[in-house]
Structure 1
Amino acid sequence: MSTDYWLIQKIKKGNTEACDELVSKYYKDILNYFTYRCVNKETAKDLTQDTFLKFFEHIYEYQFQNKTKNYLYTIAGNLLKNSFAGKNTVSLDEYIENGGEICEQADKYNALIDRTDFASVLNKLPDDLKKCISMYYMQGYKQKEISIMLGISLPLVKYRIKRAKKILEKLMEGEDYDA
């Protein structure tokens, strides 16, 4: 059996150290997931914590299938959808006005602008394409891993990444794309 199986069994028996170990194991991955989707770092951290809280709230219902990380990403995706339902992307000006971190070094500031511009362009992609290209380029997953996590075929993952790249190229050049 995997380490996750034993951790979950300990957590179900009330072992708080096992909770800490599970969080430590997956915290960075879940935080990265939100960091690439939220302009505000605090929002990303809050949603990461909420993901683990939801997981632990429903730990007794969780049926271990050796896919703990996938389950956490599912929770994270649902929290993200719920938290941003009906909201538009945040502009850099709004981010600064709302107390977001302002980078003191010019290169960090430019990186934030580039990332914000790219994030707004990325948000124009259909969700299925956005999810695949984000997991591949921003989170560093292999196409096979994405296929397994999303429950879709490998050729479909490859198609979505290729299609997303073509659309992003057009959008970054200021062109429209046909959906």
Structure 2
Amino acid sequence: MSVIKAMFCLDLIPFQFIHALLTPLVTIGVPPSSHSVGGSAGRKQGAMGANKPGDLDAVFERLFNAYQQPILNYLYRLVGDVERAEELTQDVFLKAYRALASLPADANQRAWLYRIATNTAYDQLRRSRLLQWLPLLEERSLPTSEGSPEERTGEQQAVQQALAQLPFDYRVPLILFSVQGYSIKEIGEMLGISEGAVKTRLCRAREKFREVYRGKR
């Protein structure tokens, strides 16, 4: 455990924040664990050489049914607004449908979709200069046995404000790893970066969070 904590700088984060990130959230009706669709088959299923429009439609329908809700939840965590997340989800799957014919048969479709979603969200955030962050901490997610309601509210606000100041490149892997439970390897595939780069961004994200979080207390 000490090796893992050293690798990911887990000792740099307040316990309440770790607790909040690891607490299952129900954002838009489906818990984050719903991304594990179809086990290993769901993780890597190519377009199977589908060339006919009917074949592509069938593949796309399967992809949409399997990943629409996880992608929607992921985008909601990034932009913090349900309507905007729904619009971005539509954009993601429209882009995916248009590009599906050129997707290699052995491609990791989940990683491919999350990369489209990440880029779509980044473009939206950059255009609107939106720095909002989905409140990861709801009142029910905080330990009810520690502190008064006022103290818990103050803690929640401090965490939210600190998270909002994390650079986008740090927020994305932090969500994927700490909230949605993806592995370092999976995140690297989704973002198109090396496992070492994922670890570096996670560590720096936690260091940045500690810096900002302590400054607000």
Q: Same fold (TM over 0.5)?
A: yes
Q: 1:89·1:123 contact (CA, 8 Å) conserved in 2?
A: yes
Partner of residue 34 from structure 1, selected from 75, 83, 100:
75
Question: Runs of 5+ in structure 2 lacking a partner?
Answer: 1-40, 142-148
Q: Which residue of 1 aligns with 2:205?
A: 164
Distance 1:23 1:56 in 2: 10
Q: Structure 1 residues 91 and 26 mapped into 2: Cα distance closer, same or farther (>3 Å)?
A: closer
Q: Which has the higher contact order (CA 8 A, sep 6+)?
A: 2
**Contact kept in structure 1, 2:46 and 2:108, CA below 8 Å:** no
- Among residues 1, 14, 28, which one is paired with 2:54 in the alignment? 14
1:92-115 CA distances to partner (integer Å, 9 max, x unpaired)?
Answer: 9xxxxxxxxxxxx9759x999977
Residues 111 and 186, structure 2, Cα contact 8 Å, conserved in 1: no
Structure 2 counterpart of 1:126: 167
Compute the RMSD of aligned alpha carbons: 3.5
1:5–1:64 contact (8 Å) kept in structure 2: yes
Deviates more, 1:147-156 or 1:31-40: 147-156
The two structures have a TM-score, normalised by structure 2, of 0.59
Aligned residues: 160
Q: 1:30 to 1:165 in 2, by over 3 A?
A: same
Q: Give, in whole Å, the separation in 2 of the partners of 1:91 and 1:139.
A: 15
Q: In percent, how many aligned pairs have the same letter?
A: 28
For 2:64, the equivalent position in structure 1 comes to: 23
| Residue of structure 1 in register with 2:109 after alignment | 68
Question: Is the contact made by 1:135 and 1:146 (CA closer than 8 Å) also made in structure 2?
Answer: yes
Task: With the length of structure 1 as denominator, give the TM-score of the two structures.
Answer: 0.69
Distance apart, 1:168 and its partner CA? 0.7
2:101 counterpart SS class: coil
Q: Which runs of 4+ in 1 moved over 4 A?
A: 105-108, 110-120
Segments of 5+ residues of structure 1 without an aligned counterpart are 93-104
Match of 1:49 in 2: 90
Query: C-alpha offsets along residues 19-71 of structure 1, whole Å, 9 cap, x if unaligned?
Result: 32211111232112202112211211221122111111222233334211121
Deviation at 1:161, TM superposition (A): 1.4
Cα-to-partner distance string for 1:127-169 (whole Å, 9 max, x where unaligned): 3322221211122111222233333333332232122112112
